Structure formats: structure tokens, C-alpha cells
């Protein structure tokens, strides 16, 4: 059956939805310590502990709810699930902005983690409306939206937080509600009725999602690659600030600029390079290229002797952004049109589960090798561990040997046409 005809406004809505998700995450970074301190009546040290548990709750809810959302979208369609998720995200920000006590923040993070799995449905929507040979490029736009949201979020949060610590959340709520209305107006359903399937509760949970994917052993193997990749990736948000402040004595402003550089570099790779390069070299080579770049960049981070060197390694690190678009394209070809939502739900659960464990593990490595009892003082230990994770990911990817991948098209003008 032909793909549904979807307007450019509908695709824009999906991209904006992902962007708003990331703006909501990024907007918290500059204002969270002060806001938590006010609500819990504690100092910054204790506020950090609350912040860690809030992150745990968010990741746990994404892990638990992503398969449910994916299966609901396979049953009822992508449109209602996406719009309702945006409304829920708006309510989360509203609760946060008006929260009278710290307990309300945990309620808001619980709701946000559940609704934040909306990119599960967004990825399924992309798979519905995009020909297989062009999915990697279009999935790259999702990565660009992530990066752009991460650039805008911290800047917006810092600026509005100077006016009022609650204002960033109220603005984010308004953006989410406005985008939900935009979706009502422009978003057409992408999942035709013939491709919908019965909702089964046993499949709509993390364990059920993985059990259902046993029919696709290649996908299960690729999920192993994703676990290792995400474990490596989470070394950055877990230890970057501590590493740069301890080793190079960076200020918070310098840390902020470096994170903005990471976001810009990833946006360039996800928004442009994926669409230009992957059609030329193919999805498998794109994964290997991204993994190799990550291995080199993390080692570069760990061994840098001057702070300015990190910016060069950031440019290399950004090529890691090739992996997810290529992997999403590969995996989407391994399942049928009735199971795209379930696939993306399982993938999101993998990311959520890893994001529960990885920050704790990477932070522990950093603390251990910079502590008084360390056998050798080495602040870059978590980055070396991340590099080793990517080496293992490359080995697993080679072992899985995905078959349903597109061949690179090197005919004149092909890549340009697909961008």
C-alpha cells in the first residue's frame, strides 16, 4: 500500500514536538539548583541529591511507558497519541511552574517521563510516511530537533530564570499547548486502518516489548548495540561539568558555551550530514563511522591537556550523531508496518533503562579515580570507559550483520535529491 500523503506542516509538527521535548529538558539545567533549593529549603549540595532522584524518576517512567505509548499508537494511530502527549507535557510544565513543594516536582517529572516518550510515536510516524531508502535522512531531522532543543533550552532557561525562576516552565507549558493546537490543525493520520492491530497489554510493557521482538533476532542484537552506545553517550551529561571544572578550572559560563558547541555540532550532523552522507555510503558504514568517531573523541576528551582542545574533539564527537538515524532506518526495515510503534517503544525503553543506570556508573568512575583512594589519579576514566563501550558496540554490530539495509547510491545528484 502507498504511503499516506503528509503535508510539510505535519512533518514540521513532528519535528517541533521533539524539539519541545528537548527544550523542556534543557530549560531545567540552569534553573534547577536554585528552584529545588527554594522548594526543599536546602542548600545546593542537598539540592543535587534531589536533582539526581528527579532524573531517575524521569528515566524510569520513560522506560516503563515507551512500549505502552508505542503500542497505543499501533492501535489507535499516531495523531491522537502525539497530540495527547503534548498536552500532558504542557500540564507537566504547568505543574512545575506552579509547584508549592518539592513533592509536586516529582509528580511533574513522573508525568513528563511518561509523556516524554512521545518521540516513540514520532519515530513511528516517520517510518509510516517515509520510503525505506530515505528514512535515515528523515530520522536525522529528529536528531537535529534534539540538538536544537538542547541548544535553545539552557539559553532560554538561563535568560528567563533571571527574571523569575518559575517563568521558564510556564513559557515551556505555553509552547507545548500551542504545538498541540498546531497538531490538531495540520497533522494527518499516518497509520492506515489496514495496518493497525489489536492492543495487547502483554506487549505494552518493557518486558513484553522485548519478548515480542524475539521474532526479530537482528533487532534484538541491534538493541545491544544501542545499550552500549547509550552507556557511552551518557558519560557526557554525567561527568562533563565535573571533569572540565576539576581538570581545567572552567567556570559555569565556560561549561555552558561548551555544551552549546556540542548541541550546534550535533545539529549540523543530524540535520544536514546524515541526509547528505548516509545515502552515499549506506547505513552500515554510517554506523561504523559514527562508532569510530565516538571512540576517538572520548579518548581525546580523556587525554586532553588543555581545555581548548576539547572543542576539536567535540567536532569529532558530533559524528556519533550518524548512528541513531542509520540504526533507526535499519531496524524499521526489520519489522512490518503494523509493528513500527512497538519497535520504537522497545528502542525507547532500551534508552530509558540505560539512562537509569549509566549516569550512576559513570559518575562513580569519575568520583573513584579523582578520590583520595584512587590507585591512579585520572579524571578522564569515565571517557575511557565510554570509548571501550563503543568498541564493544562495533563488535556486536559486526556480529549481528543486519541484512535489510539500503545500498549506497553514488549516482550523480542522488544525495542532493534526498536532502
Where are the chain's structural domains? Answer: 8-189+203-418
pLDDT value for 124: 72
Q: How many CB atoms lie within 10 A of CB 95?
A: 18
Alpha-carbon distance 398 to 229, whole Å?
Answer: 14
* Residue range 346-372, pLDDT digits in tens: 676 666 677 777 777 787 788 788 878
Tell me yes or no: is domain 8-189+203-418 CATH 2.60.120.10: no
Q: How many CB atoms lie within 10 A of CB 288?
A: 17
Specify whether the CB–CB gap between 37 and 43 falls below 8 A: yes
Q: How confident is the model at residue 219 (pLDDT cuts 50, 70, 90)?
A: confident
| Whether residue 299 has pLDDT greater than 90 | yes
| Whether residue 11 has pLDDT greater than 90 | no
Helix (H) or strand (E) holding 113: helix 102-115
Q: Which residues contact 308 (CB under 8 A, 6 or more apart)?
A: none
Given phi > 0 = left and psi -120 to 50 = alpha, else beta, which region is 235? alpha
Among residues 139, 59, 137, which one has the least CA distance to residue 354?
59
Specify whether the CB–CB gap between 377 and 370 falls below 8 A: yes
Q: How far is CA 87 from the centre of its chain?
A: 20
Amino acid at each position: 500500500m502507498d504511503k499516506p500523503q503528509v503535508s510539510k506542516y505535519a512533518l514540521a509538527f513532528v519535528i517541533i514536538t521533539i524539539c519541545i521535548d528537548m527544550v523542556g529538558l534543557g530549560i531545567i539545567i540552569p534553573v534547577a539548583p536554585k528552584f529545588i533549593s527554594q522548594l526543599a529549603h536546602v542548600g545546593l549540595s542537598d539540592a543535587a541529591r534531589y536533582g539526581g532522584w528527579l532524573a531517575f524518576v524521569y528515566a524510569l517512567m520513560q522506560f516503563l511507558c515507551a512500549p505502552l505509548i508505542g503500542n497505543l499508537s499501533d492501535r489507535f494511530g499516531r495523531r491522537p497519541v502525539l497530540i495527547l502527549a503534548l498536552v500532558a507535557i504542557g500540564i507537566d510544565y504547568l505543574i512545575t511552574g506552579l509547584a508549592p513543594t518539592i513533592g509536586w516536582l516529582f509528580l511533574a517529572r513522573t508525568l513528563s517521563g511518561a509523556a516524554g516518550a512521545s518521540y516513540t510515536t514520532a519515530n513511528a510516524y516517520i517510518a509510516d510516511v517515509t520510503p525505506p531508502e530515505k528514512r535515515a535522512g528523515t530520522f536525522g531531522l529528529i536528531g537535529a530537533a534534539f540538538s536544537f532543543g538542547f541548544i535553545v533550552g539552557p539559553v532560554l532557561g538561563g535568560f528567563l530564570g533571571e527574571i523569575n525562576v518559575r517563568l521558564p516552565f510556564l513559557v515551556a507549558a505555553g509552547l507545548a499547548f500551542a504545538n498541540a493546537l498546531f497538531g490538531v490543525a495540520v497533522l494527518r493520520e499516518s497509520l492506515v486502518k489496514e495496518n493497525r492491530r489489536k492492543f495487547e497489554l502483554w506487549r505494552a510493557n518493557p518486558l513484553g516489548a522485548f519478548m515480542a521482538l524475539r521474532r526479530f533476532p537482528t533487532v534484538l542484537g541491534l538493541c545491544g548495540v544501542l545499550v552500549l552506545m547509550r552507556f557511552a553517550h551518557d558519560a557526557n551529561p554525567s561527568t562533563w561539568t565535573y571533569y572540565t571544572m576539576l581538570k581545567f578550572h572552567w567556570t559555569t559560563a565556560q561549561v555552558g558555551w561548551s555544551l552549546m558547541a556540542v548541541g550546534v555540532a550535533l545539529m549540523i550532523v543530524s540535520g544536514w550530514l546524515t541526509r547528505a552522507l548516509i545515502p552515499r555510503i549506506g547505513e552500515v558504514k554510517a554506523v561504523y563511522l559514527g562508532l569510530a568517531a565516538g571512540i576517538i573523541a572520548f579518548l581525546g576528551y580523556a587525554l586532553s591537556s588543555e581545555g581548548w582542545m576539547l572543542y576539536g574533539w567535540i567536532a569529532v564527537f558530533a559524528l556519533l550523531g550518524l548512528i541513531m538515524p542509520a540504526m533507526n532506518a535499519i531496524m524499521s526495515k526489520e519489522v512490518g508496518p503494523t509493528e513500527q510503534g512497538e519497535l520504537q517503544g522497545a528502542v525507547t525503553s532500551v534508552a530509558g533503562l540505560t539512562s537509569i543506570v549509566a549516569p550512576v556508573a559513570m559518575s562513580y568512575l569519575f568520583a573513584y579515580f579523582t578520590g583520595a583512594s584512587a590507585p591512579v589519579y585520572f579524571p578522564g576514566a569515565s571517557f575511557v570507559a565510554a570509548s571501550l563501550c563503543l568498541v564493544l558496540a562495533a563488535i556486536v554490530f559486526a556480529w549481528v550483520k543486519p541484512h535489510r539495509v539500503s545500498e549506497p547510491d553514488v549516482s550523480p545528484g542522488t544525495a542532493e535529491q534526498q536532502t
